[in-house]
């Protein structure tokens, strides 16, 4: 990979992407460069999960051989830590640190000032393994401890006086009787075992700290014994203040209230006296605790134990402001009383009241370092030794170095340019990246360069963690360039024409003006040049090349070679060699094959005659003599070419193209005539040769007739064919096959009409038909689409049906048509096949027993013949019926009359000796309930409120009657007294099939039950009757309205019928005269309503009678109003404006050739009471 650094970006901060996301970045000038340090250790404070960002936090780092890859031997000097450094995450910003304990045989403790501790991803790096380093000053001047936070820090590592104080104050402690040095939680600690007369006290006088504001005391405590002395003799652990009356003191034992196994924090002076101590004795002897006491300087003292807050107390005032004589005492009071029995380590005095997050982080970092700190693996870098270049030439050199690898190397890069960039990547011009290296050894790459130029290069090795540069930059020069100007001599002359003209060239130093001597040599005799040596200076020295004359055609190639000499011995390089090509072309102009036209084409009907075509051929360039030949190259037997050989010096020759029309096929016939030309003298191919002339003859067959249709059994006399006429065609061929295969079709006839009846076709047999047009030359054209048809089977003759001869069937018989036919039996209660049902099929005999016929029901029967293709025509019907017991009449089921039963009764059937009573619940199938000889039954198995459907049928020894009409009933669940009144209908004059415009009725509920969900469904049925009183036998149904209404008992509501509901009420088509209109309300089938037994008020009648008049001519929408209509004689469109739809227009189109011949022929042709749109075509009579 070659990276070019733009000129305008040099000297700026930039980044070069090296390989697989590895980045080498320029660091700020103030940043330290640790790329040459041997070892690096990343440390992440993954245990800090609090929200507060801690500034300049002193974090404890523990180094030992327990860390992966760590060894004290990797430091530059045995036993010394002077080459140890810490940086921020950027690996360049150096951090303050202080060594607490350095133990090459165990663990070493170092305090590192972390600028910002935030979240679990805060990372720092430790570096070591760099020789010649001295101890940084900040490790001994307390810089690790922020002066805005800390006053003094005591590590308590000493074995005697003085007890060193770190931090901004740097106040040391002393004693007359030393405590014992013991191992502590962090390095060493101090053990206090004194008595009243033989006390142990570390005193630190003259503490220059202002105690008029907030402050903090912190340290590690381990209690050996709890005090049982009086209050005055409490065990004083740490005291801070100018006197015994002004103090901030940690005591063990108890305070004002005795409390064993505990300690307290007290602040007292003339204005404040407060103590805080944990309320429960939870602390053990011989156990280290991290205890922190804080005072906010105004209101509160707090005690923290192992990062938690077990005690706090209110306090006001301050100890002493601006005093320089505050004393810190560790172990006991000045008088020796209250000797502390226990151990201390890492005591700190701070100028602020630490936050809970800081205290928790300090406890975790010091007491649970392995979980709070995440130590990575020790990473060691690699080194480069730069070597001199090799194989230096005019434009290239090998850049060399020796890689001293240690561990896995990510990327090796060589930086180079015309200036020395040293170890700053941004100052180099270009860079080349190598594949990753993992072992030591030589590294080399060949680089393309400019001649006569001074270059520098330096190697770099980089991984994701460390970047190291080579031992130094290497400088060298490249050699000059010997060059020709121009780089090539070329010339073209015509054979037999003028000789080639002389040409000039010169030899020069292509890189700069330093003078080079040279000698010239020539490889050919057809050109010459004097002199054969010279110098590159002066630049205006030109050399002339002369060419021989009368050369034959061809391309002459030669070469001039120059070899340089360095007369001043300026460059210690081999002699340079340069060459210049000399090319002379002697050309022979070629004749040109010229042809017109470039293509030939004809279009004709099949069978029509065709004329010949002509091609013109000549020598288009006029050069020398053109020889030409022509031939037909395709397999087009219908195409021939005459006069196909000749010569031309410029004159034109005609070639005849002949077409044999009899051999042409339908559609596009294509052929190719190939003409070739050559120079008569040399035989070289002429210009524009060969030429292919496309010959196209489009033969149009007669068009295929469209819309071919064959009748599908509509007639048993023939198969009728029809098709659309083809313009200019007078005759058609009829083709037929017995399978869908046009190759097996046979010509059966020719006709001049656009229809044909195939009478010879057999009945009940499929035939496949095609039609072809015959053009004026009697040539058949394209095939039409296939149409399949067949002749219908004839009607079955002599069909008879028994009329009451059997009690269990109707017997049908007929006459057989043929042995290969089967038969179907159809039935209807009307003498019409339109709605008839097929009741049997695939019968091979001539009789059928219709056992499913209803009793006394007259049926009409038809028998149709069928084969595997089609069914035959329907013949005359035969009527018959089945004689059996009559079905019971008068079935009645009580509807809410009884609380626990439904009583069912029916009329007697002559000849019956038993009756079957059947019942069904809603959405269930009917089932047999009981058999009885009585004419009634009490159904005690019902549930109140559930509606049941009942049927009854009679039985005798000879059979069973049909089921009666059903009736529904239910046990009483509470009645709803519904009543209809005030029935209004408009208009009073109707037409058959018409419907009312407006209708309303009033519904009342006299209770006792309300009409409410889920039983709000009602059915309101409307009837016509000529009787002024309700007589069910006289009713003509108009329609039924499904309605849902919630109606409390004692209330009434008017129901106004919607437009869609009015559309559902239709006057019977066969009704005429004057009628009353009735309405009757009943509950919906899904309802559990029980109407009162007095059903007369469930029926109401409109006061006025209506009159039903004959259908109104011109009423297209059946609203008993004539609709305006107009037949447009220019378009054949009839438009009617429908009064029942706000006179919206409706239209129908009569597609006739001459719309002016149409006459309106409106009338009710289908008997639905509405005028049907119709017109008479007076031209055709249709």
Instruction: Give per-residue pLDDT as tens, 229-255.
Output: 444 445 667 766 666 555 666 666 544
Confidence bin at 317 (pLDDT 50/70/90): low
Show the beta-strand stretches assigned E in 1112-1177.
1125-1128, 1133-1138, 1144-1149, 1158-1160, 1175-1177
Question: How far is CA 482 from each of CA 107, 169, 454, rounded to the nearest angstrom?
Answer: 70, 77, 18
Instruction: Give per-residue pLDDT as tens, 80-102.
Output: 999 999 999 998 899 999 999 99
Instruction: Give per-residue pLDDT as tens, 939-983.
Output: 999 987 789 999 998 888 877 777 889 999 988 766 777 889 888
More confident residue, 34 or 700: 700
Q: Which of 47-51, 569-573, 1146-1150 has the highest mean pLDDT?
A: 47-51
Per-residue confidence (pLDDT) for residue 588, from 0 to 100? 86
CATH numbers and ranges of domains, the chain = 2-11+382-477 (2.60.40.10), 150-351 (2.60.120.200), 482-587 (2.60.40.10), 593-698 (2.60.40.10), 709-789 (2.60.40.10), 800-880 (2.60.40.10), 892-969 (2.60.40.10), 975-1108 (2.60.40.10), 1125-1177 (no CATH)
Mean pLDDT of 879-901: 84
Mean residue pLDDT across the chain: 83
Cα-only R_g, the chain: 61
Half-sphere exposure of 285 (CA within 13 A, CB side): 11
Instruction: Give per-residue pLDDT as tens, 325-368.
Output: 677 777 776 665 667 788 899 999 888 999 999 999 999 999 99
Residue 19: pLDDT above 60? Answer: no
Residues 6+ positions from 38 with CB-CB distance below 8 Å:
74, 128, 129, 130, 380, 381, 406
Instruction: Give per-residue pLDDT as tens, 1109-1118.
Output: 877 777 777 6
Mapped onto helix, strand or coil, the DSSP state of residue 381 is coil
Q: Which string of DSSP letters, residue by residue, matches 455-519?
A: EEEEEEEE-SS-EEEBS--EEEE----EEEESSEEEEEEETTSPPPPPEEEEEEESSSS---EEE
Instruction: Give per-residue pLDDT as tens, 1071-1090.
Output: 888 999 999 988 776 665 65
Quick check: 37 and 82 in contact, CB under 8 A? no
Instruction: Give per-residue pLDDT as tens, 147-157.
Output: 999 988 999 99
Quick check: 412 and 461 in contact, CB under 8 A? yes
Residue 570: pLDDT above 50? Answer: no
Q: Which of 476, 463, 469, 464 is nearest to 425 (CA)?
A: 469
The full 3-state SS of 662-692, as one line of letters, equals HHCCCEEEEEEEEEEEEECCCCCECECCCEE
Rounded CA gap, 827 and 849, in Å? 12
Instruction: Give per-residue pLDDT as tens, 783-825.
Output: 999 999 999 889 999 999 987 677 788 999 999 988 889 999 9
Tokens 């020889």 locate to 627
pTM of the shown model: 0.39
Per-residue confidence (pLDDT) for residue 1062, from 0 to 100? 86
Rounded CA gap, 950 and 536, in Å? 130
Quote the distance between the C-alpha of residue 721 and its chain's center.
57
In residues, how long is the chain? 1182
Residues 6+ positions from 98 with CB-CB distance below 8 Å:
110, 111, 139, 140, 142, 144, 145, 166
Residues 6+ positions from 540 with CB-CB distance below 8 Å:
none
Rounded CA gap, 502 and 418, in Å? 43
Candidate from 5-9, 594-598, 870-874, 920-924 with smallest mean pLDDT: 5-9
Mean pLDDT of 412-438: 88
Mapped onto helix, strand or coil, the DSSP state of residue 369 is helix
- Strands 326-330 and 300-305, by their bridges, are unpaired
Burial 990-1023 (b: 16+ CB within 10 A, else e): bbbbbbbeebebebbbbbebbbeeebbbbebbbb
For 1057, which DSSP code?
P
For 742, which DSSP code?
G
Max CA distance (Å), the chain:
152
Torsional sign, CA 772, 773, 774, 775: negative
Tokens 């050559």 locate to 678
Candidate from 132-136, 849-853, 1011-1015 with smallest mean pLDDT: 1011-1015
Tokens representing residue 163 in the block: 């007890």
* Bond prior to 399 in cis (omega within 30° of 0): no
């Amino acid at each position: 990979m070659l990276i070019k650094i733009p000129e305008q970006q040099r000297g700026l901060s930039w980044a070069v992407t090296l390989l697989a996301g590895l980045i080498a970045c320029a660091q700020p000038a103030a940043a330290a460069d640790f790329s040459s340090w041997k070892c690096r250790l990343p440390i992440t404070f993954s245990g800090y999960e609090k929200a507060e960002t801690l500034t300049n936090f002193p974090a404890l780092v523990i180094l030992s051989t327990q860390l992966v890859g760590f060894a004290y031997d990797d430091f530059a000097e045995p036993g010394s830590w002077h080459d140890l450094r810490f940086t921020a995450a950027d690996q360049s910003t150096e951090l303050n640190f202080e060594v607490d304990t350095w133990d090459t045989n165990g663990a070493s403790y170092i305090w590192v000032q972390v600028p910002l501790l935030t979240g679990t991803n805060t990372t720092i790096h430790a570096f070591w393994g760099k020789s010649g380093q001295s101890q940084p000053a900040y490790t001994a001047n307390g810089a690790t401890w922020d002066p805005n936070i800390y006053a003094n820090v005591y590590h308590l590592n000493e074995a005697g006086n003085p007890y060193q104080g770190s931090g901004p104050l740097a106040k040391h402690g002393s004693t007359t009787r030393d405590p014992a040095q013991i191992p502590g939680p962090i390095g060493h600690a101090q053990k206090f075992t004194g008595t009243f007369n033989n006390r142990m006290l570390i005193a630190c006088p003259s503490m220059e700290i202002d105690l008029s504001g907030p402050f903090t005391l912190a340290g590690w405590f381990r209690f050996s014994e709890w005090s049982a002395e009086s209050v005055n003799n409490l065990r004083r652990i740490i005291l801070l203040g100018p006197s015994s009356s002004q103090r901030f003191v940690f005591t063990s034992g108890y305070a004002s209230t005795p409390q064993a196994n505990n300690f307290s924090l007290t602040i007292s002076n003339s204005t404040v006296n407060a103590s805080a101590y944990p309320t429960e004795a939870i602390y053990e002897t011989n156990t280290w605790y991290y205890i922190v006491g804080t005072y906010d300087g105004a209101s509160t003292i707090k005690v923290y134990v192992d990062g938690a807050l077990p005690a706090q107390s209110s306090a006001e005032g301050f100890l002493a402001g601006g005093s320089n004589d505050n004393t810190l005492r560790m172990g006991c009071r000045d008088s020796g009383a209250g000797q502390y029995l226990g151990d201390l380590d890492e005591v700190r005095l701070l100028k602020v009241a630490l936050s809970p997050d800081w205290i928790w982080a300090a406890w975790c970092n010091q007491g649970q370092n392995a979980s709070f700190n995440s130590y990575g693996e020790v990473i060691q870098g690699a080194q480069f030794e730069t070597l001199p270049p090799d194989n230096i030439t005019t434009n290239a050199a090998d850049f060399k170095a020796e890689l001293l690898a240690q561990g896995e190397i990510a990327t090796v890069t060589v930086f180079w340019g015309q200036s020395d960039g040293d170890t700053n990547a941004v100052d180099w011009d270009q860079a080349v990246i190598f594949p990753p290296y993992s072992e030591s050894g030589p590294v080399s790459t060949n680089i393309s360069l400019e001649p006569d130029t001074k270059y520098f290069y330096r190697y770099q090795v980089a991984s994701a963690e460390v970047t190291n540069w080579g031992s130094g930059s290497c400088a060298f020069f490249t050699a000059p360039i010997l060059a020709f100007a121009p780089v090539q001599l070329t010339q073209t002359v015509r054979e037999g024409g003028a000789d080639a003209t002389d040409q000039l060239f010169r030899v020069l130093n292509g890189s700069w003006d330093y003078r080079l001597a040279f000698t010239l040599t020539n490889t050919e005799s057809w050109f010459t040049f004097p002199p054969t040596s010279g110098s590159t200076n002066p630049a205006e020295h030109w050399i002339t090349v002369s060419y021989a004359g009368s050369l034959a055609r061809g391309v002459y190639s030669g070469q001039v070679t120059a070899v340089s000499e360095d007369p001043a011995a300026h460059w210690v390089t081999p002699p340079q060699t340069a060459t210049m090509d000399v090319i002379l072309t002697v050309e022979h102009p070629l004749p040109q094959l010229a042809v017109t036209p470039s293509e030939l084409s004809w279009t004709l009907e099949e069978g029509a005659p065709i004329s010949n075509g002509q091609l013109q051929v000549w020598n288009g360039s006029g050069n020398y003599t053109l020889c030409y030949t022509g031939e037909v190259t395709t397999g087009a037997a219908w195409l021939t070419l005459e006069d196909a050989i000749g010569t031309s010096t410029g004159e034109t020759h005609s070639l005849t193209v002949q077409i044999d029309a009899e051999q042409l096929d339908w559609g596009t016939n294509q052929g190719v005539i190939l003409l070739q030309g050559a120079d008569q003298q040399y035989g070289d191919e002429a210009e524009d040769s060969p030429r292919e002339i496309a010959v196209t003859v489009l033969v149009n067959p007669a068009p295929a007739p469209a819309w071919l249709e064959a009748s599908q059994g509509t007639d048993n006399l023939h198969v009728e064919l029809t098709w659309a006429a083809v313009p200019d065609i007078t005759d058609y061929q009829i083709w037929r096959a017995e399978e869908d295969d046009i190759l097996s079709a046979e010509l059966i006839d020719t006709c001049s009409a656009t229809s044909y009846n195939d009478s010879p076709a057999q009945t009940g047999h499929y035939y496949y038909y095609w039609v072809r047009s015959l053009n004026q030359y009697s040539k058949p054209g394209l095939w039409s689409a296939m149409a399949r048809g067949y002749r219908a089977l004839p009607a079955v003759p002599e069909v008879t049906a028994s009329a009451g001869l059997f009690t269990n069937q109707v017997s049908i018989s007929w006459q057989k048509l043929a042995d290969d036919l089967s038969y179907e039996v159809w039935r209807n209660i009307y003498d019409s096949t339109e709605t008839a049902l097929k009741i049997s099929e695939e019968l091979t005999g001539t009789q059928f027993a219709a056992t499913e016929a209803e009793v006394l029901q007259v049926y009409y029967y038809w028998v149709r013949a069928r084969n595997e293709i089609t069914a035959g025509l329907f013949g005359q019907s035969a009527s018959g019926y089945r004689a059996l017991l009559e079905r019971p009449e008068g079935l009645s089921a009580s509807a809410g009359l009884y609380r626990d039963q439904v009583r069912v009764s029916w009329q007697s059937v002559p000849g019956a000796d038993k009756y079957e009573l059947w019942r069904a619940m809603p959405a269930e199938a009917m089932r047999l309930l009981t058999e009885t000889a009585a004419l009634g039954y009490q159904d005690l198995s019902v549930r109140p409120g559930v509606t049941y459907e009942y049927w009854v049928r009679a039985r005798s020894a000879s059979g069973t009657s049909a089921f009666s009409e059903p009736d529904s009933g239910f046990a009483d669940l509470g009645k709803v007294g519904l009543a209809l009144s005030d029935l209004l209908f408009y208009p009073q004059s109707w037409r058959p099939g018409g419907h009312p415009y407006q209708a309303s009725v009033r519904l009342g509920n006299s209770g006792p039950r309300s009409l409410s969900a889920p039983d709000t469904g009602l059915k309101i049925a409307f009837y016509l009757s000529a009787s002024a009183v309700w007589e069910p036998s006289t009713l003509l149904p108009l329609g039924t309205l499904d309605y849902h209404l919630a109606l409390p008992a004692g209330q009434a509501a008017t129901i106004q019928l919607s437009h869609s509901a009015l559309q559902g009420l239709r006057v019977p088509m066969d009704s005429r005269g004057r009628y009353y209109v009735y309405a009757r309300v009943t509950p919906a089938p899904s309802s559990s309503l029980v109407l009162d037994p007095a059903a007369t008020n469930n029926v109401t009648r409109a006061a006025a009678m209506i009159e039903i008049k004959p259908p109104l001519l011109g009423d297209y929408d059946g609203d008993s109003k004539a609709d305006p209509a107009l037949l447009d004689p220019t378009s054949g469109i009839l438009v009617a404006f429908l009064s029942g739809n706000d006179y919206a227009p409706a239209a129908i189109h009569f597609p006739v050739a001459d719309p002016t011949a149409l006459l309106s022929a409106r009338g009710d042709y289908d008997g639905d009471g509405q005028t049907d749109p119709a017109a008479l075509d007076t031209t055709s009579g249709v």
